[in-house]
Amino acid sequence: MTGTLTPWLEHPLDAFRYLTERYLIVPAAEQMPLRVAMFIADLAALADCLIPSGTWRTARAEVSSARPSLGRWRSAKLLVERLAAPRRELVWLTRMRAGREHPAGWKVVDIHRERVRCLIDNRTPFVIADGHFSSAAIALVQQVLPTPVAFVAGAAPTEANTPRELRRRLTDQSRDSGRIGFLAAAYPADRLFIGVPDTWGPGPGWGHPRDRTATVRAMLQRLKEPGGMVLVRIDAIWGDDSGFVRPFAGDPSRNFALGAATVARLAACPLVPFVAFLDGRRRTVTVHWGSPIPPAPRRDATGDAANLSRALDFLERAIGQRPAQYLADVGQERRWDSAAQSWS
């Protein structure tokens, strides 16, 4: 019994966060009015702001990196928004799973739709290069696309023992169940995802060659279909030597997998940068399409890094423009220049 409780006693703040999310925010999203669930989510974020923890210090440094010239109170507001974002995301995804959100209740606004109009109208397959922004927004965007987007997503772990692992499992399960619940009337679940084995738990991960090959095969199969679309979050930190290193957002150096660009090259289809911002108050999702990036010649793997880097440039600009919407680490050492629209 003592061994089971040890991770909870050693990490009381993580335990508090998990218990708040699992037993307060999720039930509120399932059963109570939206404003009540959002109030609890924001209250949990405010508690994080008032406790001088590592999470608070990291978030504060990231806010300073993304908005170096903000005054004290506006920085504090952005800090609360950044810490509230994952809890608000949990509210939206839980409501989607519970059937409390419907496509008709949301508006989707396309920015630069003309960049992909020919691809969509001609049913040309393409790889969507997204980042760790709202999963709920991705589900909402489906209503303006003619075919289901296959979201390449890591499987929720089967084992989770520490509060931090339980939080991550809750996040992954909510991402999947929210998308399935929201779109189940239109598409079967196997059309909505391409699974990647558990990438951070005790089981085999994406780095295992056999698992990697199976996932790539499934992606290529979808991209053979007329109008096939595969969405990959290309900003995930890659722990393997097969990736490439470059600055990204607030980080001076980050390693990325080449998989999305490699799959686009093997499928001979474009890589399209994409980001979707969710505005819950206006019940609007704003979609920003980047310019399609043509694939390198099939046998020329040297072009993959350059193509992926172009897509990452698009994503890091989106992070600089809307840092509170980004749900992964921003980084702390580089600064966002709003005039130049770039990080340095």
Confidence of residue 228 (pLDDT cuts 50, 70, 90): very high
- Angle, CA of 340, 343 and 344, to the nearest 5°: 100
d(CA 304, CA 261): 5
pLDDT given at position 198: 58
Q: Which element (helix H / strand E) includes 177? A: helix 163-183
Confidence of residue 204 (pLDDT cuts 50, 70, 90): very low
* Mean predicted confidence (pLDDT) in 23-43: 97
Domains of the chain from N-terminus onward? 102-343 (3.40.1130)
pLDDT given at position 4: 63
d(CA 175, CA 89): 9
Q: What long-range pairs does 215-220 form, CB within 8 A, spacing at least 24?
A: 215/152, 216/259, 216/262, 216/263, 216/266, 218/150, 218/194, 219/127, 219/150, 219/152, 219/194, 219/263, 219/267, 220/263, 220/266, 220/267
Least confident window among 78-87, 116-125, 148-157, 255-264: 148-157
**Is this prediction's pTM over 0.75?**
yes
Kindly report, residue by residue over 265-309, the tens digit of the pLDDT.
999 999 999 999 999 999 999 999 999 999 999 988 899 999 999
Confidence of residue 207 (pLDDT cuts 50, 70, 90): low
Q: How far is CA 93 from CA 34, 87, 111, 236, in A?
A: 12, 10, 24, 21
Kindly report, residue by residue over 73-84, the tens digit of the pLDDT.
999 899 999 999
* Mean predicted confidence (pLDDT) in 320-343: 95
d(CA 180, CA 189): 6
pLDDT given at position 202: 43
CB-based burial label for 120 (10 Å; 0-12, 13-18, 19+): middle
CB-based burial label for 95 (10 Å; 0-12, 13-18, 19+): buried
Residue 211 has pLDDT above 70, yes or no: no
